[in-house]
Amino acid sequence: MNGTNEARKQPMYINGEWTAGTAELTIEVVNPATLEPFAEVPRGTSADVDHAVRAAREAFEAPEWREMLPAERGRMMQRIASLLRAQKEELAQLETLDCGKPISQSLTDIEVAARYFEYYAGVADKILGETIPVAPNVLDYTLREPVGVTAHIVPWNYPIQIACRSIAPALAAGNTVVVKPAEDTPMTALRLAGICEQAGVPKGVFNVITGYGYEAGAALSAHPDLDHITFTGSVDTGIAVMKAAAASITPVTLELGGKSPNIVFADADLDDAASWVVKAITQNAGQTCAAGSRLVVEKSIQKQFVERVVERMEALKIGEGKHNPDIGPIINVKQVARIQSYMEIAKQEGCSILTGGRTCSDMPSGTFFEPTVIEAAPDSRLALEEIFGPVLVVYPFETKEEALALANSTEYGLVTGIWTSNINKAHWLASRVRSGQVFINNYGAGGGVEMPFGGSKKSGIGREKGLEALRSYTQVKNIALKIHS
Ligand code: NAD
């Protein structure tokens, strides 16, 4: 893995310094569209992780950060937002090179990343405590303090957006940060480090460790001197992170994916619903935790509605992200193999593949997968398990009670889409589905910086985004002062 081209080597960022760390080996960073390597990052070790956590601890205790006025912290975060926007084109191109997505999506991701900093910049000087009436001679009040050193383990599907989603509220509340981007997509997190430096973030407050999940990621989640871990990724890794954190009673926020349904009633605006159902499963080639990967459709319109969906899926343009198609490549060959294995399972389970189901033959590499629609039984593996590709599974319902039971029938509970012109039916369902977010006659994934986001059941623990996210990055201290007259 050791590269020869020095220019391609990107160092990590620890304690305000660009460094190769103790790592002797590097990880090649590959363009998913062509499978050609274009950069190398250090294969961070547990010693590098320890160095970053110690730097973050020292920075947390140092007066430069601890005594910075909250309003100044806010201004610093506004500068980060401005710098992200000023470099939007270049950052978007890097994101597309790194994770393959269409350039328009990368531009949106950089804008959303800037929005996170802008949104939480405004909060930095509004993190309030309370006074509590206990007794006439007692002044009881609470402080909402930063928790301390926070770790952020980030997946490959929305690298900069998901990183900023948790880093921004953590910094706004006065914490320090150690980020571990995914090994497939480390580039924009490293660029964010340069932006933080330029914006005047004190040394040690923001650190980036590159490396493999099973090495640097595992070392970070097991580090005994963390005060919070935010992890986004698969359920199995989430369980490993939670177990590692348990040894030090480190709190975790977990965002672990889903099998989110779009429930379409016969009285919905079917054209609008069909467009959104397609977008919800094809955005980022379906590699989205909140992807609308199940279509639960009222039986009376199943045939006509599914036809509309299939027609739209077949019209989508597939290609390299830099050409701004509708669908770019899958992140790597391992993930392609995973999607293909579900096509085998579909055949074994007797499901009907209505369109797609294969990799594309006329692309620069084997990482492009056709948008796929499959009719499957609600209790099939196809209908219950997260595939993480452009694969939509369809089945019908007849009553709203059945729609509810089907919506709740997986072990996930991240997002639910409801499509109907009947507000009573919409609210009946919205108030009963087990998911962290519900969209009625619209569907959102990725945006919505202001809206709390997170899952029920195996979709995760805790909420990100909005003011709600501050709960993870602050801790309440109660102070009771006895007043002697
Ligand atoms: P993953 O869960 O293995 O990786 C996510 C992050 O965790 C990466 O930064 C990785 O380096 C790190 N990591 C891996 N092992 C670790 C460990 N033992 N301790 C600490 N950190 C560790 O996900 P993946 O392998 O990249 O993707 C596999 C599946 O995860 C996908 O098929 C999909 O189902 C799911 N996924 C979900 C999301 C989401 O947003 N919810 C994102 C990406 C992947």
257 C-alpha to ligand 1 centroid (Å): 10
The two three-digit tokens of residue 65, written as one number: 């950060």
Q: What pLDDT was estimated at residue 23?
A: 82
Q: How far is the CA of 308 from the centre of ligand 1 (A)?
A: 34
| pLDDT above 70: percentage of residues in the chain | 98
Distances from the Cα of 401 to the Cαs of 122, 423, 429, in angstroms? 43, 16, 8
pTM above 0.75, yes or no: yes
| pLDDT tens sequence across 226-261 | 999 999 999 999 999 999 999 999 999 999 989 999
For all residues of the chain together, what is the average pLDDT? Answer: 97
Q: How far apart are CA 405 and CA 409, in angstroms?
A: 6
Ligand 1 contacts CB of residue 319 (under 6 A): no
Atom of ligand 1 nearest to the CA of 460: 41
If you average pLDDT over residues 290-307, what whole number do you get? 98
Q: What are the backbone angles phi and psi of residue 105, rounded to the nearest 5°?
A: -70, -40
Q: What is the pLDDT of residues 372-423, one digit of tens each?
A: 999 999 999 999 999 999 999 999 999 999 999 999 999 999 999 999 999 9
pLDDT at 445 over 90: no
Burial grade of 224 (CB within 10 A; 0-12, 13-18, 19 or more): exposed
Rounded CA separation 374/172 (Å) = 44
The residues, ordered by sequence, that sit 6+ positions from 239 with a Cβ below 8 Å of its Cβ are: none
pLDDT given at position 1? 41
Among the atoms of ligand 1, which is closest to the Cα of residue 154? 9
What torsion do the CA atoms of 416, 422, 427, 433 make, to the nearest 10 degrees?
-30
Q: Name the band, by pLDDT with cuts 50, 70 and 90, for residue 140.
A: very high
Structure tokens at 18: 């660009």
Residues 6+ apart with CB under 8 A from 11: 18, 19, 20, 42, 190
How many whole angstroms separate alpha carbon 309 and alpha carbon 475? 47
Residue 425 is encoded by which pair of tokens?
């039916």
Task: Give nearest CA residue, ligand 1 atom 14.
Answer: 213
- pLDDT tens column, 36-59: 999 999 999 999 999 999 999 999
- Residue 414: CB within 6 Å of ligand 1? no
Q: How far is the CA of 133 from the centre of ligand 1 (A)?
A: 46
Active site (catalytic) residues: 255, 289
Cα 474 to ligand 1 centre (Å): 26
pLDDT of 338 above 80: yes
Q: Comparing 70 with 24, which gets the higher pLDDT?
A: 70
pLDDT in tens, 259-281: 999 999 999 999 999 999 999 99
Ligand 1: nearest atom to the Cα of 184: 26
CA nearest to 342, candidates 412, 264, 414, 259: 259
Pick from 103, 128, 207, 216: nearest CA to 163: 207
Cα 42-48-52 angle, rounded to 5 deg: 115
* Residue 446 confidence (pLDDT): 56
